[in-house]
Amino acid sequence: MKKVAILQSNYIPWKGYFDLIKSVDVFVIYDEVQYTKNDWRNRNLIKTPTGPSWITIPCRQTSLAQKIYETQVTLPNWNVKHWNTIKGNYTRAPYFKKYEEVFYQTYMSSRSEFLSEINLTFIKTINGLLGIETTIIDSRELNLQGDKNERLIEAVCKLNGNYYLSGPAAKSYLDEKAFHDKGIEVAWMDYTKYPEYQQLYPPFTHGVSILDLIFNCGESAVNYF
């Protein structure tokens, strides 16, 4: 059985995103869809003494038809500001020192003008730290055609997959019968049963960037998937 998941890129995503990647053989970055403002594409939450706080990559949106992969960053030194914010809030975390250099280098080298490229750099770096060996590809390599469901099915078929793992939000539009008609089993991620871990700045919050889990739990981070 070959398992495939397909999702838009997010900026330093939460643990559920990486749990999904770890659960499949091939993960498709699907950034040839509409860019949405005030979404997870260019921002995420970190823990601070005053509660969860957004860190956002400033991006330009020139039209509603703009694709995620077309989206450009508008502030050249966003990376320096974000790193300083992260360091300031996580320097007391148990494993911050262990991972400080790799994230510092990743931030300082993130000079692309395109959001998708920045997101992919962080996703691959974090996969490496977590020991996730899932193959990652860009959906544009597959030359997908058709409507929303047809494109997903075509992607799985072109990758010789027979198992599609999706986040629960897709239940509102996914045509499971169309997948089954192509011999593809559909399964849904369950994000409701994650255990808590020792986290800075109580109360505990699940929906923050994976950086929080890494800095607090180190090499045991995947045990909280």
What pLDDT is stored for residue 204 in this prediction?
Answer: 97
Q: Which two tokens stand for residue 217?
A: 């739990």
Average pLDDT over the chain, rounded to an integer: 97
Mean pLDDT of 170-193: 96
In tens, the pLDDT along 67-97 reads: 999 999 999 999 999 999 999 999 999 999 9
Q: Which residue has the tokens 């991620």?
A: 189
In tens, the pLDDT along 100-153 reads: 999 999 999 999 999 999 999 999 999 999 999 999 999 999 999 999 999 999
Torsion-angle region of 218 (φ positive above 0: left; ψ -120 to 50: alpha; else: beta): left
Residue 198 CA to chain centroid, in angstroms? 22
Give the number of other Cβ atoms within 10 Å of residue 220's Cβ: 11
What pLDDT is stored for residue 138 in this prediction?
Answer: 98
What pLDDT is stored for residue 112 in this prediction?
Answer: 97
Q: Percent of the chain, pLDDT > 70? A: 100
Q: How far is CA 126 from CA 5, 103, 123, 149, 220, in A?
A: 18, 9, 5, 29, 14
Mean pLDDT of 20-32: 98
3-class SS at 52? coil
